[in-house]
A = this chain, B = another copy of it.
């Protein structure tokens, strides 16, 4: 997505490594449990161990890797329990976003959401699951950004990175009937926001997140009995 020759302003090396490794983990190019040697990453990004260490430290705080002292650094995947906990948080944060957005009144982002839902309708009509998954991601993103609360946005992004959410969602959307139901829920949320019904929007959103969670966990469950999420596609 980005030109590798792009010059990052201040701390170039560390930021470059951070972005690279993070996206590699989220997109599944590094499998859960896989060891990430500082030395190997340093060679890969053509920098010394120092910026690699700092990038890995940040990823550790974000919950994406686990550093065991004098043993190694490993790609971390949340346990089943953590996934449930993260979904519970996600429900609250997105509900909050819907409520805050409703309270803001008419703002341009509402038009973007409306446009998103129109395109989502076309994707559902054509049965284009992949395109719809992208649009779903966009819908939630617009909602959170539109809430205009940078702290919420920050915590939310950390959460979503841990969940590797888009991969989970893609799986859940393959379930028959889920597409249409999902779209109807989205439309309901937007309607309540436009009516400035903050609490209505919050709870509609929370219900939607719970439904989506159930579909996601159900889609994931039969395949893997134990802990492994983020299976290979």
Contact = CB atoms under 8 A, between A and B. Distances in A.
A15 to B, nearest CB: 10
A100 B82 contact: no
Contact of A86 (B11, B86, B92, B151): B151
A61 B60 CA distance: 11
A85 interface: yes
A88 interface: yes
Given A54-B57, A92-B93, A150 B10 contact: no
A198 to B, nearest CB: 12
Interface in A106-160: 149-152, 155, 159
A152 B89 contact: yes
A92 B96 contact: yes
Q: Chain copies in the assembly?
A: 2
A92 B93 CA distance: 8
A69 interface: yes
Contacts of A159: 151
A37 interface: no
| Interface hub of A58, A85, A150 (most chain B Cβ within 10 A) | A85
A21 B93 CA distance: 30
A95 B54 CA distance: 35
Given A57-B54, A92-B93, A69 B152 contact: no
| Interface hub of A70, A95, A155 (most chain B Cβ within 10 A) | A155
Contact of A57 (B10, B57, B100): B57
Nearest to A93: B92
Given A11-B69, A54-B57, A96 B88 contact: yes
| Interface hub of A61, A69, A151 (most chain B Cβ within 10 A) | A151
6 contacts: A10-B70, A11-B69, A85-B149, A85-B152, A88-B151, A92-B95
Given A85-B152, A92-B96, 12 more contacts: A10-B69, A53-B54, A54-B57, A82-B150, A82-B151, A85-B150, A88-B100, A88-B149, A88-B152, A89-B149, A89-B152, A92-B95
